[in-house]
Structure 1
């Protein structure tokens, strides 16, 4: 468990537990894209959580405010690669902050924490994907120093 400070408040970052899954799904569903993609049946989320939690290269983070309320999440994956001299990449996905916490520096602090997590675990590069429609997120990632260097593709299976 770690703490991060943003806008004069202290937040806790910790590994998710099964009991957190409903709150995390609610965060994922709380935007235009997620509201059409996520569902109320928690069974598939709990199954996915069990796999994530069992994998030592995965860290599903929960961000809590001072009252213990869940206000953010992200998933970190350490990916060993042959490219870049066999380096490890830190993949950052499923980033969500509760609407009330946005614009106050929590995202910046959370990413600083995630980058330190990656460095501590030997990652040489952080990468993420973001939906093309998330223009505000793109500006945020640009401010953090990320560069849109690749075109991503997806195929539903």
Structure 2
């Protein structure tokens, strides 16, 4: 893990990020690696927002992991700031190497740096391996999530 760098994503990273997002049955249904336009526009919006952190993990010049960390100022919980981790992906060649743990540790450390009192994430019901991974890192399945597609 010594040669690993976690840094802000740039436009040149988008093909690798989208490739990882699409590299499973769920992602294959909702991602479009052949049309990077929407992803590049999203990266511009994310990069302009100081509460958004889209990062990549790079080893040997190759993007091997990614996640998005959002800092959310709030009024509840006595005005607590929280963070939300989303879009965690590790390249298939790197799974089981500890890279996912390093990415989540980065997100937790960054959340602490921003004064967050809570780190939260969601994971699709079908991702049971991911659920075990997050539980090993100290996360608890404490809520039921709801979505409304618009």
Residue 52 of structure 2 is aligned to residue 58 of structure 1? yes
Residue 136 of structure 2 corresponds to 143
- Whole-Å separation in 1 of the counterparts to 2:77 and 2:45: 28
**For structure 1, which runs of at least 5 residues remain unmatched after alignment?**
none
Q: Does 2:88 correspond to 1:95?
A: yes
**How many angstroms does 1:23 deviate by?**
1.1
Deviation, 1:106, is 1.2
What TM-score, normalized to structure 2? 0.96
SS in 2 for 1:36: helix
- How far does residue 81 in structure 1 lie from its aligned partner after superposition? 1.0
CA contact (8 A) 2:65 2:99 kept: no
Q: Matched residue of 1:81: which SS? A: coil
The match for 1:108 among 101, 105, 113 is 101
Q: 1:127 aligns with which of 116, 120, 123?
A: 120
Q: TM-score, normalised by structure 1?
A: 0.92
The match for 1:84 is 77
Q: Residue 78 of structure 1 aligns to a residue in which SS?
A: strand
Whether 1:71 aligns to 2:64 is: yes
Does 2:41 match 1:47?
yes
Q: 2:12 aligns with which of 10, 19, 32?
A: 19
* Moved >2 Å (runs of 4+): none
- The alpha-carbon deviation at position 132 of structure 1 amounts to 0.3
Q: How many residues are aligned here? A: 149
* Aligned residues: CA RMSD: 0.9
Per-residue displacement from partner, 1:135-156 (whole Å, max 9, x unpaired)? Answer: 0000000101101111001111
| Alpha-carbon distance, 1:10 to partner | 2.8
Give the secondary structure class of the aligned counterpart of 2:97: coil
Ranges in structure 2 where 5+ consecutive residues have no aligned partner: none
